[in-house]
Copies of this chain bind each other. A is one copy, B any other.
């Protein structure tokens, strides 16, 4: 039975421990809505993991309350866990997002063979009722079209979530942040502001996307040969600017790289990317064209070794090879962790001898997230009673909180919280509630599993020291060793017969001694073999491979 006057609960299940896997639950009594359903890409210390999802058990446990899911924009850190959530729900719920976001979501869902979902397009300015929640969508500027913020009215008060944003006065598609709506909501009263913290440590304003266009045009116009532009395939505004520059100087655009091909198709179909049919050509049709008539739009801006850019740089692409007469623009910035991969492609391109432009020597990229002045402007416009920085690492959330304090928001009205923490709102007042279970789940091949530190630790150990298997058959009567088979993988001494011979001797005497002492105890023998072999290998090689002893009585 529902309690009388329940609080509004705001529960971030992801997004507060790093930039990725954004997901926030809003719950009021028997009603619940979900704000974003993102994923994160694994770290170096999560070997073999394909994807990292927020643990959304809380959503499943309260599935009966779920009135709708809305997605603020189409980046994977906001959409990527949607297929998994939908597969785990036992009933259909409506999914609200902009046309562009739904276009990208649809593609992802199709890959997971989810074709029968309830996708509902919403436009900026539109109001949607989801149970007890009234949700108003408003346009924001970001590095993808169709990004929106939301204003949520509930019986206990209001929440404004900016979504990912910068404040771009000259966006490429002309769709500015809806300042009018934001100020209208502010006038009505925003009890809690959730605002993007990604660039909270950067002073000043983030430059407009339009500033990049002039620089791209200049480079493309003056390049003597072909121009290759690597960028994020979802950054449709950037791609639009590349296409505009190419068309304006009479160059054709070639698109290559799997996600670049698929995203430009979706964006053109939905009307977000505008280039005349005759100006965009297939990579196989490029042969007839003079070099100075070609711009190639490609993937690889993050240094991915199998990307189109890497393959074209290394002569491994089916139809295009970069030469010393070409110009390459890396129109992106490395996501933290990708720095070495990007540097490696730049080194390959340097060896080819082409001209290279990137952030270090030309204005070919600006961030999609607002810097400190934009965050402060947002705080000033919204003038919220309470504030919780979201979308960032610990350092970003705290820097954003400091900005809010500098602007006069009382420290006890600012909540720097973790995933799973609960904010409770009653009568326009916010306080910390009881946390819920949260964490991450790993997608590893087809399996989805809770974080199992043992598996990851084993994998890291395997990757450092390799593995040695030792199979011993023992006589069932005497328990003495008969045959011993020692082999290894990922070890540097696999061919050292003297060392392996010594290991055999050690194992044999260990088994025989164990037989005398413990007799018929296979478990004890196995442990003794593992210890003896581990010590022997340490003494000889100063490495500790993982040892798998198998003892079989015959």
> Which of A's residues lie within 8 Å of B, judged by CB?
43-44, 47-48, 201, 336-337, 339-340, 343, 346-351, 353, 356, 360-361, 393-395, 397-399, 442, 444-447, 449, 452, 455-456, 458-460, 462-467, 469, 471, 473, 483, 485, 487, 489-494, 540-543, 546, 548, 550, 552, 554
Does the CB pair B348–A394 fall under 8 Å?
A: yes
Q: Which of B339, B447, B473, B543 contacts A339 (CB 8 A)?
A: B339
Known contacts A350-B394, A350-B395, A492-B449: A469-B360 contact under CB 8 Å: no
> Across the two chains, which residue of chain B brings its CB closest to A18?
B347
In the assembled complex, how far is the CB of residue A392 from the closest CB belonging to chain B, in whole angstroms? 10
- Complex CA gap A494/B462 in Å reads 16
**A-B contacts, 21 listed (Cβ < 8 Å):** A43-B340, A48-B490, A48-B543, A336-B340, A348-B394, A351-B394, A351-B398, A353-B398, A445-B542, A447-B543, A458-B489, A462-B462, A462-B489, A463-B463, A467-B548, A473-B473, A483-B552, A487-B550, A489-B546, A550-B550, A554-B554
Known contacts A339-B336, A466-B458, A552-B471: A347-B543 contact under CB 8 Å: no
Does the CB pair B339–A393 fall under 8 Å?
A: no
Does the CB pair B47–A464 fall under 8 Å?
A: yes
In the assembled complex, how far is the CB of residue A461 from the closest CB belonging to chain B, in whole angstroms? 8
- Complex CA gap A375/B509 in Å reads 65
Q: Which of B343, B399, B455, B489 contacts A491 (CB 8 A)?
A: B455
Q: Which residues of B contact A456 (CB under 8 A)?
A: 490
In the assembled complex, how far is the CB of residue A195 from the closest CB belonging to chain B, in whole angstroms? 18
Q: Which residues of B contact A452 (CB under 8 A)?
A: 492
Q: Which residues of B contact A337 (CB under 8 A)?
A: 339-340
- Complex CA gap A53/B343 in Å reads 21
Does the CB pair A467–B467 fall under 8 Å?
A: yes
- Complex CA gap A492/B490 in Å reads 20
Does the CB pair A473–B340 fall under 8 Å?
A: no
Q: Which residues of B contact A471 (CB under 8 A)?
A: 471, 550, 552
Known contacts A466-B48, A548-B487, A552-B483: A447-B541 contact under CB 8 Å: yes
> Across the two chains, which residue of chain B brings its CB closest to A452?
B492
Known contacts A336-B339, A347-B395: A459-B466 contact under CB 8 Å: yes
Q: Which of B349, B469, B554 contacts A548 (CB 8 A)?
A: B469
Does the CB pair B395–A492 fall under 8 Å?
A: no
- Complex CA gap A353/B340 in Å reads 30
- Complex CA gap A442/B491 in Å reads 12
Q: Which residues of B contact A201 (CB under 8 A)?
A: 360-361
- Complex CA gap A208/B442 in Å reads 48
Given pairs A44-B44, A458-B489, A469-B550, 5 additional interface contacts (CB within 8 A): A48-B466, A337-B340, A351-B398, A446-B540, A489-B548
Does the CB pair A465–B546 fall under 8 Å?
A: no
Q: Which residues of B contact A444 (CB under 8 A)?
A: 492, 541, 543
Q: Which residues of B contact A343 (CB under 8 A)?
A: 336, 393, 395
- Complex CA gap A41/B264 in Å reads 41
In the assembled complex, how far is the CB of residue A404 from the closest CB belonging to chain B, in whole angstroms? 15
- Complex CA gap A201/B346 in Å reads 12
Q: Which residues of B contact A492 (CB under 8 A)?
A: 442, 444-445, 447, 449, 452, 455
Q: Which residues of B contact A460 (CB under 8 A)?
A: 463
In the assembled complex, how far is the CB of residue A434 from the closest CB belonging to chain B, in whole angstroms? 21
Does the CB pair A463–B47 fall under 8 Å?
A: yes
Q: Give me the 9 closest cross-chain CB pairs, A-B, nearest first.
A: A463-B463, A48-B464, A445-B542, A445-B543, A462-B462, A554-B554, A47-B463, A347-B394, A459-B490
Which among A48, A361, A466, A542 has the highest number of chain B CB atoms within 10 Å? A48
